[in-house]
Each structure stands twice: as structure tokens, then as C-alpha cells.
Homo-oligomer: A and B are copies of this chain.
Amino acid sequence: CSLTDMDSHSRKLREFPFVSAAQKRLMLDLVSTVENRLDSQLLPCSLPSDVRYYQSPSATSQASLHIRPGHPHSPIDFVLGSWVHSELPTGGSLDITTLSAYLNSSTDAPNFVFEIIRSSPTMLVLFLDLLPRKDLVLWSDYLKTFYEDTQLDVHRQTLEAVPEVQPYFSSSLYVRAAASPTVILVRILTENGGVERMEEIIRDHLDPISKQVLGIWLDHCACAKREVGEAERAYLRKRDGVVRNKTIEIDLGSSYPKMFGAEVANRVLESMKEYFTV
């Protein structure tokens, strides 16, 4: 299967069934851009069907997860797409849509992460970054190549010029430390303009900016030729390992068991670990 093919489970991913029209369009475009560009390098998703789609015992939370591993000779380790829909006790719902792409240690280029966390029709948090895989202080040529020369910060500046957009500080210091200096980590609140204004912001701002950042990742990271020596590979494997452990720990260690119950959360966790272990 692909991240967007037609079997009954991945159709659920393709549908992004619970989010607004503009958000769904954006997610579908990002997923298909990655799949079209990297198609020859990606293997089919082989997750079990109860991980590709899962729900809490009471069915108040549902989710879909797809992971396509890279071919053995590709620098792509895997591409992950997911959505989570969880009814809130207050009556609303929490919706998370994610697309991320991890490279292996044959390259040191940054990973791609895109996540929209929408806790109400008029509020969302966007996390969009090319996650550095080296200490940017020590490797200033790395900072220059991937973050300065690519003009990544222009896109952050463009988005922050929208009045409803504010910088967002994750409560996890680890998340802040792992992000790049050009990370787009913002909260968007459209209390006055309502859900229509949120759709407009997604369509007119998030959409083009996300696509441009993904384009930079595809051109300058996923498809870059990088020389990586043996010592550097060991360093990358170590650092990648820490980052991936933390990612699972933060995501699944906290919110997943609450949303899906311990049993389902553990099943998903174990499946993800196969890919997240370096």
C-alpha cells in the first residue's frame, strides 16, 4: 500500500476524515508530494491493520498510522503519516494530523516534521521544521547549508506577520532544544474571525508556506548528496536514537494512553518502535 492508496485502512488516512476542507487539502497535497517525489525509494506500508487504524475501547478516540520504509539503498529511513481524532470531555474534539520523514545515517541532512494540533475550530498549533541531526553550534557549516543558504527563515517570518499567529512555546524543553532556529512553532487563534478565518489562514498562509518548506526539504535534504564518514555515522546513530526515543516517549508516554487506553497505546508504541529504533 502507499500512504494514500485505496485499501480500506489507508483510505482512512487519505480521507483525513475529521479535519476541515482546507486542512484536509493541505495534508493530502503534502502526502502526495512526498510520495510522488520519493516513490521509487519507498516500500509499501507493512504495519498490521490494527495499527493502521485503531480506536479506544469506547471509540471516543480514533487514529490512523501509516509508515512507509525506505528501500535499503535509499537515504530515506521512513515516511510517516497519521491522524488522531479524540472527542474531548468538554464536547469539542482534538485533531492531530502529521507528516514526518526520517533519513538514515547514510546522510546527515535534517528530517522533516509537519504537525497540526487542532484543539478547537478556532485554535491550532503548527509545528513545522527541518529537524537538525547535528549540534548546530559545533557544526556551523551545517547551519549555513541547511538553514541559512536555503532562506528557511523567510517562511517563518511570512507566517508570523499574520495577525492571528503567535509564537508557541512547547512545555517540553526537549522539544524546544531539538528544534531548529527556523522552526515554525506557532499558535493560531481566530476567535474573532471564527472558523471561516481559520480556513482562510490555512488556505492562504499555512498551505503555501508548508509546501515551500517541504520543497526545501525534498530538494536540499532528502535528495542531497552528503559525505558521511564512519565516525560521523556513529554520532548520527547515537543522536538520532536519542531523538526518536524522546519522540515516542513524549507522544506515547503521555497523551496516547489517556486517549486510547494502555493496551491500544502499547500496541501502537511497539509497532512504531520498530521504525524508531536506530
Chain A positions within 8 Å of B, measured between CB atoms, are 135-138, 140, 143, 147-148, 153, 156, 167, 169, 173-174, 176-178, 180-182, 238-239, 242-243, 246
Contacts and interface: CB of A to CB of B under 8 A. Distances in A.
Given A167-B167, A242-B140, A147 B135 contact: no
B174 A140 contact: yes
Nearest to A147: B173
B143 A173 contact: yes
A63 B117 CA distance: 49
Q: Is the interface of A mostly helix, strand, loop or mixed?
A: helix
A129 to B, nearest CB: 13
A243 B156 CA distance: 25
Nearest to A157: B169
Given A153-B173, A167-B167, A173-B153, A178 B137 contact: yes
A42 B173 CA distance: 33
A175 to B, nearest CB: 8
A137 B135 contact: yes
B173 A246 contact: no
Contacts of A167: 167
A139 to B, nearest CB: 9
A243 to B, nearest CB: 6
Contacts of A181: 173-174, 176-177
A178 B138 CA distance: 9
Given A136-B173, A143-B174, 13 more contacts: A135-B135, A135-B137, A136-B174, A137-B178, A138-B238, A138-B239, A140-B246, A147-B173, A148-B173, A173-B181, A174-B181, A176-B181, A177-B180
18 contacts: A135-B137, A135-B138, A137-B174, A137-B178, A137-B239, A137-B242, A138-B238, A138-B239, A140-B174, A140-B246, A143-B174, A143-B177, A147-B173, A153-B173, A156-B169, A167-B167, A173-B182, A174-B181
